Structure 1
Amino acid sequence: MTLPDQSARPTREELHAWRTFLRAHARITRSLETELVAEQRLSLGGYDVLVQLAEAPERKLRMAELADAVLLSRSGVTRLVDRLERAGMVARERVAGDGRGVVATLTDRGLDVLRTASRTHLAGIVRHFVARLDHDQLHHLGDLCGKLVD
C-alpha cells in the first residue's frame, strides 16, 4: 500500500464519509455509555477496562498494557483504575522484581459487575448497531473497518 501525498486534501465526498463515520461512532458510543451508567452505574471506559482484564491471562494486565488495550492515556487509565479500585472491582499490585511495575487485577466483584453490565451493553450493541444493518452490511462494514485498523 502506498502512502498518500501529504499535501493531498480529501474531496467533499471523502469528508462526508469521514464525518458520517465519526457521527455514527459518537452517537452509538454515547447511547451505550448512557445505558451503562443509567442501568449499571458503570462508564463505558470502566466496562472496557473490566473486559480487558477478564480476557487477560490470570485476569491481570500491566497498567501500560491496559492503557494500550483501552486506548486511554496512562494517566487516564490510572484515574479510571483508581475509581474501579475504590469500588472493589479492580486491585493493583506491584510486580515482583520490578520496582516500577504495577498490574491491575480483576476482582471477583469486578467479574460479577462485568457479567451483569454485559447484559446491558450487549443488548445495546444489538439495538444501536446490529439491528440497523443486515448480515451482508455487517460483514462488509467489518471488512472495511478491518482495513482501517491494519
Structure 2
Amino acid sequence: PTIHIKVEKGIIKVIYPEFAGIGDPKVQAAIRKGVEEAWRIEAKSWLPERTEQLAGKFGFRYGKVTVRDSRTRWGSCSWDNNISLSLHLMMLPDHLIDYVILHELVHTVHKNHGKGFWQMLDTITGGVQKLEKEINSYQIGIY
C-alpha cells in the first residue's frame, strides 16, 4: 500500500489505504517518520535560538549549532566550540532541553567531565544530580 506523509504548519498528515489500518507496521513507521520530520522542522529553528538565549544569559561563547538525527547522544561540543544537538531533544520537557544545551555550553569552558565541569553545571542549573537522573529516564528514539 502507498502511504504518504505531509508535515506543514505543525500538522502531520499520514494518508494510508483504509484497509491497512492504523496498527499496520508500515503505517506506524510512517507516523514515526512524520513525528521525526515535525521535530526536525521545529528543532532547526528553536534549538539554535534557545542556545543563543542561554549562552547570552550565562556568558558562554560558541561557534555554531547544528541539529542532527543523533540516536546515541543528546548533544556534543567540538574542540572548536561548535555544538551539535539531537532532533530527538524535542521529545523532552523544556527544562531538560535547557539542561542538555547548558551541558554543551559548559563544555566550551571545560572540555571534559572533570570536577570543574560538574561544579559549573551544578551552579548554573541548581541541581545537576536530579537533572541527570531525570534525563537518564528517557531513551533516544523511544516514543
Instruction: Give the TM-score normalised by the residue count of structure 1.
Output: 0.27
More helix by share: 1
Higher relative contact order (CA 8 A, sep 6+): 1
